[in-house]
Chains A and B, each alone.
Chain A
């Protein structure tokens, strides 16, 4: 996945201010696209959150979570885990009015099919 792919992802979702693709095993940001240029520390922190919400021990009935969505009146922080490679995840920062259906569909499309 390239920054160009992530830019196209944001184009489809005007309320998405930042999207990054990370290796949550190593907590490494692999690519990012944002409306603003964010400090690397900020991107690293977001990748760290993705790693935390999908870490070992967060499973339910033996199933690993593939989506973690934090919604507040001021915005949405969304994390999607790749079905193909559980070590890869997408993190998005969106406005509060983002279309959830579009966001989920776009995330699943860019991360690959899931069961």
Chain B
């Protein structure tokens, strides 16, 4: 890894939020993204729980990256991740019992969220603590953003409210299907469609710029 080309920690943070968003671009962590997002607050709580686990384990893995032998690294990462997941499970049960009940078995399942192990293996274990924190915060920020988007859409359409606040009044007939499991797939499908459309449009613009420059350059060369 050469020092000159290394991106800044701000860039590492921002890439997870948007360009390499774990849900909309990398399509990681689909189980919680579909299962607990029947309301915006559940999506937010799941996102924050994942943020806590990802940031804390990234710090530890990055600090210990030279102490953990390569051969046992995955086992060590899982021990670290599982510890933080259990901690967050106990803390939620103690301080926010309602949210703990709503998220149910999915808190324990953060252990197997491939986003978390993936960041340890591909980033935290190879970078300094500051960069690892930036990467983890960006990725989990992107994950939380995605979960709140899915949860928000499902709650607005399925319950006629957002973060528990009623939006449309009495006359609104909620689309119950949106808060049922199929609603998760609908919301995620449309969001993926939207993100792909955005990405393609950006690519086309960039391509058009490159074409323009190349053609322009060739014309210049021809003239000379």
A, B from the same assembly: no
Interface residues of A (CB under 8 A from B): none
Interface residues of B (CB under 8 A from A): none
